[in-house]
Amino acid sequence: MSGRFAPTPSGRMHLGNAYAMLAAWLSAHARGEDVRLRIEDIDVPRIMPGADEWIRDDLTWLGLDWSGDVVRQSQRTALYDEVFATLHDAGLLYPCFCSRAEIRAASAPQEGDRFIVYPGTCRRLHDGHPDEAAARVRAGERHAWRLAVPPAGAQDGRILFDDRVYGAQDYDLGAALGDVVLRRSDGLYAYQFVVTLDDLLMDIDDIVRGRDLLRSTALQIWLRQRLIDCGVGGRAWQPAQTPDYAHLPLLDNAAGVRLAKRVRSLDLGHLRAQGVRPEAVVGYCAWALGIIEQPEAIDAREALACFDWRHVRAVRGRDFKVPGDVGARLLGM
Ligand code: GLU
């Protein structure tokens, strides 16, 4: 069993990515596990050439090591095809012909994190007129494939889990997530499908990531169980056993906007070129995680000696604001 780094190689890692990777590394090592590296390069249009190498180089520079071979999602399509067919044969998927605009127009007002719950148009088509839906697929009409989750209010769609930072979670899948896309209309497999499958097949039992994925965890727990029911992977697991999850407060810029790879100023390439030391980045991130009381240069091993989820729980009340002059502060550390 292991923890994991699961970066998307869409650009250079920024301070927020370093912070999440440090937390994943500390969590796994604190429980005596190592970390696997999975490059999530399945979303081809978002991938930046060279970013995969940068990520490995930046992780090494930070002193965050991983074990085993690097897994690249782009090389696992045959496996994904096979499992996708299994889910399809189990009756868990249906084709969706809706455009984004149609979905938006038919949706209830969006919530804060802009997660749109699919209004179910094509599920009704599939349930009521399966022959028509099948004929439209055969005729080559553009379509995505959605996962049919239990409807809002259904008892088997209620997912409870305990997050190590945010505590007890209780989601109604149908109301909070709805029927998510597992295969997009451009043919690419979607994040929810590949991340759930890969975490299962790689025997990942320690998942650490940003709190923006809290509600996705509910879906991933449900989908994971469907995969196991279909006989996919999971032999090392007890029935109903799920990974341990920890979601982290996000790192925002001074204006309160989440750090993005598009904004170069806080990326590790820029910071390294200015002469910032890895211990400064690790120490700053450890401080943002609440692990140490003052931002001071420390290495990952030293941070491990202080690590306890209780510290992160204590700072979970608000996201962390990175000041605009952080580069200068890091240089001085
Ligand atoms: N590749 C995803 C990301 O970079 C990983 C999310 C996850 O940890 O599940 O956001």
Domain boundaries, the chain: 2-72+249-331, 77-241
Give the DSSP per-residue string, 218-245: HHHHHHHHHHHHTT-S-TTSPTT---EE
Give the architecture (CATH level 2) of 77-241.
Answer: 3-Layer(aba) Sandwich (3.40)
CA gyration radius, the chain: 21
For atom 6 of ligand 1, the residue with the nearest CA is 6
CA of 181 to the centre of ligand 1 (A): 16
Weakest-pLDDT range from 77-81, 230-234, 235-239, 242-246: 235-239
- Beta carbon of 4 within 6 Å of any ligand 1 atom: no
For atom 9 of ligand 1, the residue with the nearest CA is 195
* C-beta separation of 42 from 194 below 8 A: yes
* C-beta separation of 24 from 2 below 8 A: no
CA of 6 to the centre of ligand 1 (A): 5
- Beta carbon of 250 within 6 Å of any ligand 1 atom: no
CA of 189 to the centre of ligand 1 (A): 14
pLDDT (average), residues 302-320: 95
The domain 2-72+249-331 having CATH identifier 2.10.109.10: the answer here is no
- Beta carbon of 261 within 6 Å of any ligand 1 atom: no
In this chain, the answer to whether the domains covering 2-72+249-331 and 77-241 adopt an identical fold is yes
How many angstroms separate the CA atoms of 325 and 173, rounded?
Answer: 42
What is the pLDDT at residue 300? 98
- The half-sphere exposure of 63 on its side-chain side, counting CA atoms within 13 A, is 16
- Beta carbon of 190 within 6 Å of any ligand 1 atom: no
Question: With pLDDT > 70 as the criterion, what percentage of the chain qualifies?
Answer: 97
Going through 93-136 in order, the beta strands assigned E by DSSP cover 93-96
- Beta carbon of 40 within 6 Å of any ligand 1 atom: yes
140: left (phi over 0), alpha (psi -120 to 50) or beta: left
Q: Is the pLDDT of residue 112 over 80?
A: no
How many angstroms separate the CA atoms of 79 and 253, rounded?
Answer: 39
How many angstroms separate the CA atoms of 179 and 267, rounded?
Answer: 35
* pTM (2 d.p.): 0.96
- The half-sphere exposure of 146 on its side-chain side, counting CA atoms within 13 A, is 25
Q: Is the pLDDT of residue 236 over 90?
A: no
Question: How far is residue 99 from each of residues 103, 122, 305, 318, measured CA to CA in Å?
Answer: 6, 11, 51, 36
What is the pLDDT at residue 104? 80
